Structure formats: structure tokens, C-alpha cells
A and B are shown apart, each in its own frame.
Chain A
Amino acid sequence: MSTQHVTTTPVAAPGPGGPRPPVSAPRRRRPLRARLRRRPNLLAGVLATIWLILVAGPLYYMISSSLRSRSDYLSGNPLAPPSSPTLENYWTVLEGGFTRYLFNNVVVTVATVLIVVGLAVPAAYAIARSTSRLVQRGFTLLLAGLAIPAQATIIPVYLLITRMNLYDSLTAIILPTAAFALPVGTLVLTNSLRDVPRELYEAQAIDGAGAFRVLRHLVLPLARPAIVTVVIFTSLTAWNGFLFPLVLTQSESTRVLTLGLWNFQGQFGTNVPALLAAVTLSVLPIFVVYLIGRRFLLSGLTAGFGK
């Protein structure tokens, strides 16, 4: 079966972790490199430590403050660990509409990912294999889209969405978010499909497979690593999206997490521990993904810009 052959073919995932040339230095040079390495790089070490403090400090503050009682926050040393850790702030947040925002976020993220993958996979297949000039022109247009800053288009997008009577709906957020994630997604998938040896396609053609069967039995299995990258990139964009929800929705029923956080700031007033509990909760799902698949997540983040 050709599909068995297909799944065992390694395909290099695109992105920064991608092709790593094997260290091919002749043996006798090794000791020299080792000697150089043993001398510690002080400057870099100091810089890395400073950056570590700058990154870890605020995150520590975020979590430790979210576990403080309000009086502890108002009177205690902001950097000391909470005197009597409490989860009450998390309950305040969960009762304050957070679950609704979370649900909206999940809907927006899942729908955006489905649209992007559903459109980009067949498009990338056509771009990699079709000889049609229309397809190649379209691809050029799509690549130009990589350079369009979403912020510059919010006014016409608002015009389009209100004309389509979609204002203040989750659909209003999903459509432009997906459209702006589409160029990167298509680029990543196209690159991975162009790496597929031509013989594999030709074998399918000899078997008499039509284009759709090739898509299902050859393209989908081979593109799986690239699809994972696209899913992660798109999910993060949609999950953390702020701009389109900001200008395209207004009521509480359509509020997503990022806008919800901003809204909490007004709602909780000086209750900063509760606000930071909400911020922590909003990061939690992505953090779990990070723990499970750091490599995939990081390659998804720089998707398309790796090289």
C-alpha cells in the first residue's frame, strides 16, 4: 500500500528548528572547540541572567499577587511571598463572567483554526502541484498579505462587518482573524508540500488516483507536522487576539478573554489580585500546551519567518 510508504517518509518541518547541519568537523579539531567552550562566556552569562530576572520577576509577581488576600496586597511587600495564600481571587474571577469569556474564546479559536486549515491545505496542495497561472498569481497576492498590518485595516474591516450585519457577533471576530492567519498558514503548508518527492505523486497517478484521493491519502499524512504548526500558530493568534474583538464587538455576550481581562480592570477597580488571577487563568491553557509540546509551539510561533 502506498499510504504505508507515505507515513514513514520523514518530512522536514519548516521553521527555526528545521534543518540542522550535522557537526562534521574532523575529529582532531574537537579538543580545540572543547577548550574554547570550557572558558565561560561571562558577558553572555551576565546578560542572560539579567534577562532571566526581567522575565521571571513579573511572572512570579503575577502568580504570587494572585494568591494574596486584598489586605495582604495593600499592605505587604509586593515581592515577598503571600503571607497566607488564598484561592479566593480565582473564585471571584470565575463568578465574574470569566467562564463565558473563556467559552467565547474557545469558539473563536476552534472556528478560526477550522477555517484556516480547511482553506489552506487544499490551497497549498494546488499551489505546490498545479501549473495554473491563476493559482501562482493568487499565491503571490497571498504572500503580499504577509506584509499587511491588521491595525491599518480595522476601519474598512469594521465597514465590511457592519455592512454584512455581523457586528457584535463571534463570527465578526472569526472571519478577519482567519483571513489574516491564512497567508502564514498557506506558506508553511506549501513549503512542506514542495519538499515532497515528485515520485510519490507520480506513483499515485500511475495507480489512477484523482486529485482528491491524492489529497486524502498522500497530502494529508505528509503535511501532518506542518498542519500541527499551522494549528498552533493560528490558535495562539486567535486565542490572544485583541484588535478585532475590540473594534467588532461590544456586548458582554460576545466578549472574549482579552477584552474580558481589560473589562475586569474596570470591574474590580483596585482589586488587583483578582485581576492578576484572571490574567493567570487566561494564560493557563497555553501554558499547559507549552509544557506538553514546547518544540511544536515554538516552531508554530515563528511559522513562516524561520528562514
Chain B
Amino acid sequence: MSHTAHHRPSALYALPAFGFFALFAALPMVLVVYLSFTSWGGLGLPEPNGLQNWSRLLNDEAALASMWRTALFTALAWAAQTPIALLIGVWAAGRQRNRAVLSSLFFLPLLLSTAAIALLWQALLDPNFGITQAGPLGGILFLGDPAIALYTVVFVITWQYVPFHTLLYQGAARTIPASLYDSATLDGAGRFKQFWHITLPQLRYTIITSSILMVVGTLTTFETVLILTGGGPGTATRIAPLHMYITGFSGFEMGYASTIAVLLVVFGTGLSLLVMRISRFRSMSSQQEGL
């Protein structure tokens, strides 16, 4: 042991990375909890104010409404993205030449920044000069109608993030052993049966990973909404992370805004753990079936 010890790297090789990460990523995570118990306007130092922020949050209807809006937004985004990404991913996993060419087009939205995507869709959906002028959709205020705006934002978010999840599913679908499909074909199972009884169970861990990334991501992302609608019209698209950003950086109530940030992280982590627990239970029972 001592003979080879000096050939092994010492802990010093890893410490710069750990230190850097601790300072600029882990410390902020701790600080945000501290800040939620302070009052801070962005200048000077934060001043502790006990539970004031938290008790204020409980009676803040705008903040609570933004939380509900976020829950709806996240649920819709998950429900829209998962089936599309799953189906296209499985389809794109095929080795056929036309699929390879088409899927290289499918992934193009991945190359665009959030800002580029939001600005592009804003131009596209412009009620006067956008794409709605050309087709049967004329006259619909996709971003200006409070009853529609949230769904439009979900659509844009779906457009933005489906390619990433498609990639996850494509990679996972390619690792499913072909022999499983071969024996199912011999047994006379059709395409739909094969998808339901082989593809889906084999992809369960990918579904979990993808869903967790999606839920935690959607709970906290606000950049697309900020550019697309700024939270409007009215407060129709003011989801909680955007409410946090506006409260902190426009209203300069950074202590109070931290309270919302903490809540979002708690919800995100809680949901991830819940998904993992449920899925572990499920996967045990399906493994007994021999899949």
C-alpha cells in the first residue's frame, strides 16, 4: 500500500475544483437560506429580520398565486414534453438513413440560446406581422390574451427543451437489446404491444431521469418567460421564479425574494425524491415479471 501511495494523486489535485465550486455554487445555496431570514435592498449588508419574510409570504396573495401558476405550468410542460420526446426519441433511435438525417434537424433548437428562442417566437407570434397573418390562426393574440398566454409559453418551452430529452431517449432506446424484440416478434406481438411491453419498461430509468430534470428545470426557469411576456399580460404568466426575479432585482427586496427561491428549491428536491421513491417501488415489481 505505502509502496504505491506516492504514485497516486494527493488530495491537492482535487481541492482547487472543490474550493471553487464551494465558493461560487455551494455557498450561494447556503446563503440563500440565510438571506430568506434577512432584509436586504441590494446595497450594504443584509440585516436579519427573523421570520418576517416567511410570515409575509403566507399572506402574500400575488406570491401564492405565482406558486399555483408554477405548479400548473410545470405539470403542463411535463405532460407536453414527455410523450413527444419519448416517441421521437424511440423513432430516432432507429438506424434507418432517413431517420438519421431527420433527427439531425430535430436537434437544431438545442443550438439556440434561450434569448434567441424567445425573441424568435415573439417575432413569429407577433399579432400584426407574425406568422398568424398567413394562416388560419389570424387574429389570435397568442401572447396578448391572458387566457392563452400561459399555454403559449408552455408551447415555446416545449419547443426549446424537447430536443434535449429526445436525445436522452434516443440514446437509451439504442441500448435496448434487439433480442427482446426478436422473441416478441416470434411470439406474434405487434408494434404497439412491443412498445408497451418492451420499450417503455426498458426506458423506465430514462423516464425518471428526464422527468426529474424537466420538473426541477421548469420549476426554476424564468428567462424564456421574462423575454416573451415579462410575466404578462397582467400577471397571466408570472410564474414564481419570475416573481422572485422581479421582487429581487426590480423591487430590490432581495431578502424576501430569497424566501421564494428557497421554497422553489425545497419543492424541486421534494418532487425529485418523490419521483425516485415511487419509481423504485414500481421498478421492483416489474423486475419480478422478468423485464
A residues with a Cβ closer than 8 A to B are 15-21, 23-25, 29, 32-33, 36, 39, 41, 44, 47-48, 51-52, 54-59, 61-62, 65, 73-74, 77-79, 115, 119-120, 122-123, 125-127, 129-132, 134-135, 138-139, 141-142, 145, 147-160, 162, 175-176, 178-180, 182-183, 186, 201-202, 204-205, 209-211, 214-215, 239-243, 246-247, 257-259, 261-262, 265, 272, 275-276, 279, 282-283, 286-287, 290, 294, 298, 301-302, 305-307
- CB-nearest residue of chain B to A16: B171
CA distance A74 to B133 in the complex (A): 11
- CB-nearest residue of chain B to A284: B111
CA distance A78 to B28 in the complex (A): 46
Q: Which residues of A contact B13 (CB under 8 A)?
A: 122-123, 125-126, 130, 211, 215
At the interface, yes or no: B7 with Cβ under 8 Å from chain A? yes
For this complex, 14 residue pairs linking A to B, each with C-beta atoms less than 8 Å apart, are A25-B178, A33-B185, A55-B105, A115-B20, A119-B16, A119-B17, A126-B10, A152-B32, A152-B241, A155-B32, A239-B113, A242-B113, A242-B115, A298-B167
CB distance from B231 to the nearest CB of A (A): 15
Q: Which residues of A contact B170 (CB under 8 A)?
A: 16
Q: Which residues of A contact B6 (CB under 8 A)?
A: 210-211
CB distance from B189 to the nearest CB of A (A): 10
**Size category, B interface:** 35 or more
Q: Which residues of B contact A202 (CB under 8 A)?
A: 4
Also in contact, A52 and B106, with CB within 8 A (given A16-B167, A29-B186, A306-B168):
yes
A sample of 17 more A-B contacts (CB under 8 A), given A122-B14, A153-B29, is A16-B174, A25-B178, A33-B181, A48-B102, A52-B102, A55-B105, A79-B131, A119-B20, A126-B12, A138-B18, A141-B18, A158-B254, A179-B20, A257-B113, A261-B116, A279-B119, A282-B113
B129 touching A272, Cβ below 8 Å: yes
Contacting residue for B11 out of A15, A126, A159, A307, CB 8 A: A126
B171 touching A25, Cβ below 8 Å: no
Q: Which residues of B contact A152 (CB under 8 A)?
A: 29, 32, 220, 241, 261-262, 264-265
CA distance A298 to B185 in the complex (A): 32
At the interface, yes or no: B59 with Cβ under 8 Å from chain A? no
Q: Which residues of B contact A153 (CB under 8 A)?
A: 25, 28-29, 31-32, 261
